[in-house]
Amino acid sequence: MSEAAHIDAIVAFFETLTAQTVARCGDIYAPDARFKDPFNEVQGQAEIERIYRHMFEALQAPRFVVHERIGSGSQYFLTWDFHFRFKSFSPAVTQTVRGGSHLQLDTQGRITLHRDYWDAAEELYEKLPAIGSLMRWLKHKASTG
């Protein structure tokens, strides 16, 4: 499979991920792959699957939309939007987190390192009812404008 085909398969996996397809993580992650985001740092396919399963348990209709892919060989960077609704808040308004993922691939095109970059304060905390007001106030106080 070519480099382009590997990254196409990875992007397709993320964009079509469902609670049922989480079990296919082994198709795109190496057995000892590492994953890190603002809330998690784990190693191994089972731990990565656990994070995705939790995402489907905790959120309504989570889905990724990949906008750009940059890289070649074993190094890629994806920019994406993550759309979801909180299960426990009403009304259930669709939220969007904008972020990026640095991916390192092995010689079979499987992910060995997946590091997500996104601003938890702006993209998540500001959207929570109680914490959001405080976060927006702090942001306003810290701004120079």
> At residue 109, does pLDDT exceed 80?
yes
Q: Is 11 within 8 Å of 27 (Cβ atoms)?
A: no
**Assigned CATH topology for domain 3-119:** Nuclear Transport Factor 2; Chain: A, (3.10.450)
In this predicted model, what pLDDT tens digit does every residue of 33-57 receive, in sequence order?
Answer: 999 998 899 999 999 999 999 999 9
Q: Looking at residue 135, what is its pLDDT? A: 47
| CA-to-CA dists, residue 141 to 72, 124, 134, angstroms | 42, 19, 11
Burial of 128 (0-12, 13-18, 19+ CB in 10 A): middle
In this predicted model, what pLDDT tens digit does every residue of 62-81 receive, in sequence order?
Answer: 999 999 999 988 999 999 99
Q: Looking at residue 54, what is its pLDDT? A: 95
Average pLDDT, the chain: 87
What is the rounded distance in angstroms from the CA atom of residue 128 to the CA atom of residue 130? Answer: 6
Which pTM value belongs to this model?
0.82
